[in-house]
Amino acid sequence: MKTLTIEGTPKTPMVKFEAETGKIEIKGRSIPENSIEFYKPLVEWLEEYGAAPQKLTDVHVQLEYFNTSSSKCILDVFKKLETIVKAGHEVIINWYYEEDDEDMLEAGEDYQSIVKVPFKMIEVEE
């Protein structure tokens, strides 16, 4: 399975999904013109990866900001991860937020309450 790499832009996050290591990264800003179009390859990649995931899928999400349409798409990504957990595999989502960014912390907590995937809230200094 190929690694999925998408370079970050001012409107879209950097994405790196590595099947061999089980490491998944989403980092930056997520305000794409069309969120569904941007996130579709991520969800499709996870569908394929979910058929034969690594022992541990280590997810790192470090977003500075995301818009409402991105939040729904991010939830779709997390739901695919939840499917991997339900199949008996280990997944952990590391949710990074800046120390004074209450909104980003709350967003992570909201996702944590919706999907049954272990979350680790990680505070980063600016």
Domains recognised in the chain with CATH numbers: 4-124 (3.30.750)
Both structure tokens of 24: 């998944």
SS (H, E, C) 86-120: HCCCEEEEEEEEECCCHHHHHHHHHHHHHCCCCEE
Model's pTM, two decimal places? 0.96
- Helix, coil or strand: residue 13: coil
- 61, 96 contact by CB (below 8 A): yes
Q: Which helix (H) or strand (E) holds 60?
A: strand 56-66
Tens-digit pLDDT profile for the chain (126 aa)?
Answer: 999 999 999 999 999 999 999 999 999 999 999 999 999 999 999 999 999 999 999 999 999 999 999 999 999 999 999 999 999 999 999 999 999 999 999 999 999 999 999 999 999 987
- 91, 111 contact by CB (below 8 A): no
